[in-house]
């Protein structure tokens, strides 16, 4: 690994037989995450001040302290005081979603909206000729559709006068990725980063090691192994049999969410105390653009919505940690999102509809269990979503996801939630700042990229 400022870095790296890789980053810090946690813990128990604790750290090191107080005595809050970054590469999108299904997740994942996934490998747990053919048929359409789709998009959305050609072309490419991602299978391989504190890593791994998918369980073991290498004092917790059994029962039987009768869109529950909400009229009515509602308004209660959303856009809405969402089981039961088909040319639409029919029959013939079947189902299929949140959390979600830069299928749902919230609470002063022009093409999409300067 390359040194930083002449300090050799010792990243903890675990390579899996599947080709996946887990790396816990060594930043080269003189004060490690465990040492930083130790200093904060000492600071909470002694009036001597941080300088004296730094002397103790220099003399004794953090290892014995963390083993005694964080692990031995179970002071879990100490683990909140040290953070780490875990890079996970070469895993399916189903693994990424499992790791990100955590209200305290922080991190990033490869974007299907900006990256060309045509050369990405697919995770194929069945690993047969028939299963590989299903995956490659999705890839073939994704590849062959790009050229004619982009030409069609350029006719629909001509370059604005004065716009840079490369920015325009990137915006057109981004729009084509928006459309064609619906045909990428959920087993498409991706990369993600997970930035977490030591306590939350341990708590999340307690669940992931019992996940229904074998791939997720394998990644959980690899992450645990890498963290034990990097932070041995913080990841030597005793495992309790009853706790492991409880987590296993939940993860195996109740983790994935199914809702056969899920409506297209419906407000399921409204527990908002409007008498209490009325006391916040000034905060609701005078909030400027790009400003959050004060969090105390959450005391007024919760709203719950049920709706169908394609799995591709679920991957976007799942990033909102302030609301509670169940992880849906990806199936073909709720149909393919029509938007992806409507955006194609007439010739591509005919091909896509025929492909969806034949692929569905091929997949059914494999007779896989529902969890494994997910790998072969493209992200354009709709899944049931149940989302529960307080008013500040939902207002933030609605305003962020209703802009023209959001995928149109998610933008539509955000606007529907916003309209319902206004219908219920505008009389109490609630104001929403919404972009109501659904699906508008904007060449500024071409500027929303992260590139290195030459």
For 98, residues 6+ apart whose C-beta sits below 8 A from its C-beta are 208, 211, 213, 216, 327
The token pair that represents 79 in the structure block: 């683990």
Domain count, the chain: 3
Residue 3 belongs to a domain: no
In a domain, 211, yes or no: yes
- How many angstroms separate the CA atoms of 94 and 418, rounded? 29
Q: Is residue 307 located within the same domain as residue 383?
A: yes
**Residue 133 structure tokens:** 């053919």
* Per-residue pLDDT tens digits for 306-338: 999 999 999 999 989 999 999 999 999 999 999
Question: Residues 65-116: pLDDT tens digits?
Answer: 565 555 544 567 777 888 999 999 999 999 999 999 999 999 998 876 656 6
Whether residue 399 sits in one domain with residue 273: yes
- Confirm whether 348 is domain-assigned: no
CATH of the domain at 239: 3.30.1360.170
Do 27 and 102 have their domain in common?
Answer: yes
277 CB neighbour count, 10 Å cutoff: 20
274-281, long-range: CB < 8 A, 24+ apart: 274/300, 274/425, 274/428, 276/300, 276/301, 277/391, 277/425, 277/428, 278/428, 280/428, 280/429, 281/428, 281/429
The reply to whether 230 falls in a domain is yes
232 and 291 assigned to the same domain: no
Q: Are residues 321 and 426 in the same domain?
A: yes
Among 253, 282, 300, the domain-final residue is: 253
Q: Which domain holds residue 179?
A: 129-187+357-376
Assess whether 249 and 299 both reside in one domain. no
Residue 5 φ/ψ, nearest 5 degrees: 55, 40
Q: Say if residues 430 and 283 touch (Cβ distance below 8 Å).
A: no
Asked whether residue 201 falls in the same domain as residue 176, the answer is no
Domain C-terminal end among 199, 219, 253: 253
**How far apart are the C-alpha atoms of 135 and 359, rounded to whole Å?**
9
Assigned domain for 243 exists: yes
Q: Could you please report the per-residue DSSP string of 162-211?
A: T--HHHHHHHHHHHHHHHHGGGSBTTBEEEEEEEEEHHHHHHHHHHHTT-
| Residue 309 belongs to a domain | yes
Whether 5 maps to a domain, the answer reads: no
* Residue 121: inside a domain: no
Single out the residue in 253, 276, 296 at which a domain terminates: 253
| 326 plus 441 within the same structural domain | yes
Tokens representing 219 are: 């990644």
Structure tokens at 454: 């030459």
Question: Which residues fall within 8 angstroms of residue 396, CB to CB, at 6 or more apart?
Answer: 292, 293, 320, 322
Residue 320 in tokens: 């909102």
Q: In a structure prediction context, what are the per-residue pLDDT tens digits for the chain, which is 454 residues long?
A: 444 455 678 999 999 999 999 999 998 887 788 778 777 877 777 778 888 878 877 777 666 656 555 554 456 777 788 899 999 999 999 999 999 999 999 999 887 665 667 778 899 999 999 999 999 999 999 999 999 999 999 999 998 888 888 888 888 988 999 999 999 999 999 999 999 999 999 999 999 999 999 999 999 999 999 999 998 878 877 889 999 999 999 999 999 999 999 999 999 999 999 999 999 999 999 999 999 999 999 999 999 999 999 999 999 999 899 999 999 999 999 999 999 999 999 999 999 999 999 999 999 999 999 999 999 999 999 999 999 999 999 999 999 999 888 999 999 999 999 999 999 999 999 999 998 777 667 676 666 554 444 4
Residues 180 and 195 reside in one and the same domain: no
Query: In this structure, are 76 and 218 located in the same domain?
Result: yes
CA angle 204, 209, 212 (to 5 degrees): 110
In this structure, the answer to whether residues 285 and 431 fall within a common structural domain is yes
User: How high does pLDDT run on average in the chain?
Assistant: 90
Share of the chain above pLDDT 70, in %: 90
On whether both 158 and 52 belong to a single domain, the answer is no
Q: Edge-to-edge, what's the strand order for the sheet holding 265-270?
A: 265-270, 302-310, 382-390, 324-325
């Amino acid at each position: 690994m390359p040194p930083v400022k002449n300090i050799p870095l010792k990243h903890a790296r675990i390579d899996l037989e599947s080709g996946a890789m887990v790396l816990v980053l060594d930043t080269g810090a003189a004060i490690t995450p465990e040492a930083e946690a130790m200093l904060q813990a000492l600071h909470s128990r002694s009036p001597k001040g941080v300088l004296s604790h730094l002397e103790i750290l220099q003399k004794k090191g953090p290892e014995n302290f963390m083993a005694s107080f964080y692990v031995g005595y179970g002071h879990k809050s100490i683990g909140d005081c040290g953070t780490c970054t875990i890079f996970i590469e070469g895993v399916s999108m189903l693994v990424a979603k499992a790791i990100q299904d955590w209200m305290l997740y922080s991190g990033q994942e490869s974007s299907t909206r900006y990256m060309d996934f045509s050369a990405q490998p697919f995770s194929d747990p069945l690993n047969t000729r028939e299963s590989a053919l299903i995956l490659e048929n999705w890839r073939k359409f994704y590849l062959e559709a790009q050229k004619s789709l982009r030409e069609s998009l350029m006719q629909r959305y001509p370059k604005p006068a004065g716009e840079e050609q490369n920015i325009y072309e990137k915006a057109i490419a981004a729009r084509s990725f928006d459309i064609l991602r619906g045909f990428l299978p959920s087993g498409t391989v991706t990369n993600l980063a997970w930035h977490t504190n030591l306590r939350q890593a341990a708590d999340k791994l307690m669940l992931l090691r019992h996940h229904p998918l074998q791939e997720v369980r394998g990644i959980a073991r690899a992450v645990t192994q890498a963290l034990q290498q990097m932070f041995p004092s913080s990841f030597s917790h005793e495992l309790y049999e009853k706790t492991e059994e409880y987590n296993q029962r939940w993860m195996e039987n109740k983790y994935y969410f199914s809702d056969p009768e899920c409506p297209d869109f419906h407000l399921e529950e409204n527990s908002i105390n409007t008498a209490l909400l009325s006391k916040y009229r000034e905060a609701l009515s005078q909030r400027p653009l790009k400003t959050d509602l004060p969090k105390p308004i959450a005391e007024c209660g919760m709203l719950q919505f049920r709706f169908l959303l394609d799995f591709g856009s679920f991957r976007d809405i799942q990033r909102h940690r302030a609301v509670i969402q169940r992880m849906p089981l990806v199936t073909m039961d709720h149909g393919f999102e029509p938007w992806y088909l409507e955006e194609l040319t007439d010739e591509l639409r005919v091909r896509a509809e025929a492909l969806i029919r034949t692929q569905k029959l091929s997949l059914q013939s494999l007779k896989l269990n529902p969890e494994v079947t997910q790998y072969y189902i493209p992200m354009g299929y709709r899944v049931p979503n149940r989302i529960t949140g307080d008013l500040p959390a939902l207002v933030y979600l609605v305003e962020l996801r209703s802009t023209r830069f959001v995928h149109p299928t998610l933008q539509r749902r955000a606007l529907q939630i916003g309209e319902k919230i206004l219908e219920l609470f505008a009389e109490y002063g609630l104001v929403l700042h919404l972009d109501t022009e659904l699906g508008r093409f904007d060449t500024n999409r071409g500027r929303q990229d992260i590139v290195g300067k030459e």
